[in-house]
A and B are shown apart, each in its own frame.
Chain A
Amino acid sequence: MSAIRGCKGEAAAELHVLAVDDSSVDRRLIERLLRASSYRVTTVDSGKRALELLGLGKENNTSSKGPKVNMIITDYCMPGMTGYDLLKVVKESSALREIPVVIVSSENEGAEDFLLKPLRPADVSRLRSRIDGSTS
């Protein structure tokens, strides 16, 4: 992904992704993958630290303006605050709710797939491959 150009044609800042994962191995992997696509990456090891970085202190108020983050990608299963808990806090914050949040999960949790409602026909055809166990 190339740098975003402003209206004057100068290169604007790269997109900044905040990656949240309690595993140091996974943090290094995701950082490498994102940087390979020219994202600027910050990794943190917990939802709590993510919120601190985003400027939400312990009081869950925007105490100080955090660095601009264009996307949050978070592990689902983490000790303490889960990815889902983090999602809820972000979406309940007027300062942060515009930031897209992606949740990643391993098969550890047992889910086959993740779909967004409302479902579309394309989603339903994805379901079939899960029943068959085949890859589409």
Chain B
Amino acid sequence: MEVRRLQRQYVEFASSLFREGFLDEQFSQVQQLQDETNPDFVYEVVTLFIQDSERLLSELARSIDEQPVDFVKVDAHVHQLKGSSASIGARRVKNACLAFRSSCDGNNFEGCLRCFQQVRNEYSLVKSKLESLLGLEQQIMRAGGSVPTLKC
């Protein structure tokens, strides 16, 4: 049955995301806040995260390009990105931000640049994974099924 197949696919995919550390317990918390009165809650929060992250990453790219680099400003942006990734459960992005802040602390430009690339990569990865996850949810619901709840 189509719904069952999709639900299995969803559980496997979601489980892998937790296992590989892309998402953590906080993402489950966000999912648990979705219900009949807030049917698109996860989608809304993910969208806000994506908008916020893209804005912050642009600002970061701009800040890193300045001569000389204002590490305080860079750190402020990374702090915000760390916060929102933690709030949505995007663990690898959050950890990359942590490492980034250490470079900023040391005023280490090369380290900073490396960390920025790392954060940007992790963000791209989790963004595409979240989009796939949400896509699967949509398919399940359109096929008349309900989205399985997961324990991470």
Interface residues of A (CB under 8 A from B): 22-26, 28-29, 32-33, 36, 77, 79, 106, 108
Inter-subunit contact B45/A23 (CB<8 Å): no
**A36 contact from B33, B79, B80, B84, Cβ within 8 A:** B33
Give the tally of cross-chain contacts (CB within 8 A): 40
Binary interface encoding of chain B residues 69-96 relative to chain A, with 1 for a CB under 8 A from any of its CBs, else 0:
0000000100110111011100000000
Given A23-B87, A26-B83, A32-B41, answer yes or no on A79-B33 (Cβ-Cβ < 8 Å): no
Binary interface encoding of chain B residues 88-123 relative to chain A, with 1 for a CB under 8 A from any of its CBs, else 0:
100000000000000000000000000000000000
B49 within 8 A of A: yes
B147 within 8 A of A: no
**B84 contact from A26, A32, A79, Cβ within 8 A:** A26
Inter-chain CA distance A26–B82, complex, in Å, is 12
Inter-subunit contact B45/A28 (CB<8 Å): yes
- Chain A residue numbers with a CB within 8 Å of B45 are 25, 28-29
Inter-subunit contact B83/A108 (CB<8 Å): yes
Given A32-B38, A77-B79, A106-B83, answer yes or no on A24-B33 (Cβ-Cβ < 8 Å): no
Inter-subunit contact B48/A32 (CB<8 Å): no
Inter-subunit contact A24/B52 (CB<8 Å): yes
Count, chain B residues at interface, CB 8 A:
19
**A25 contact from B33, B49, B79, Cβ within 8 A:** B49
**B51 contact from A24, A29, A79, A106, Cβ within 8 A:** A24
Given A29-B30, A32-B33, answer yes or no on A108-B79 (Cβ-Cβ < 8 Å): yes
Inter-chain CA distance A28–B51, complex, in Å, is 13
A-B contact pairs, 10 of them (CB 8 A): A23-B83, A24-B84, A25-B45, A25-B48, A25-B88, A26-B84, A28-B44, A36-B33, A106-B83, A106-B86
Name the distance in Å between B109's Cβ and chain A's nearest Cβ: 23
Inter-chain CA distance A22–B79, complex, in Å, is 12
- Chain A residue numbers with a CB within 8 Å of B86 are 106
- Chain B residue numbers with a CB within 8 Å of A79 are 76
Inter-chain CA distance A77–B84, complex, in Å, is 13
Inter-subunit contact A25/B41 (CB<8 Å): no
Name the distance in Å between B78's Cβ and chain A's nearest Cβ: 10
- Chain A residue numbers with a CB within 8 Å of B84 are 23-26
Inter-chain CA distance A25–B33, complex, in Å, is 13
Inter-subunit contact B87/A26 (CB<8 Å): yes
- Chain B residue numbers with a CB within 8 Å of A25 are 45, 48-49, 52, 83-84, 87-88
Inter-chain CA distance A33–B32, complex, in Å, is 11
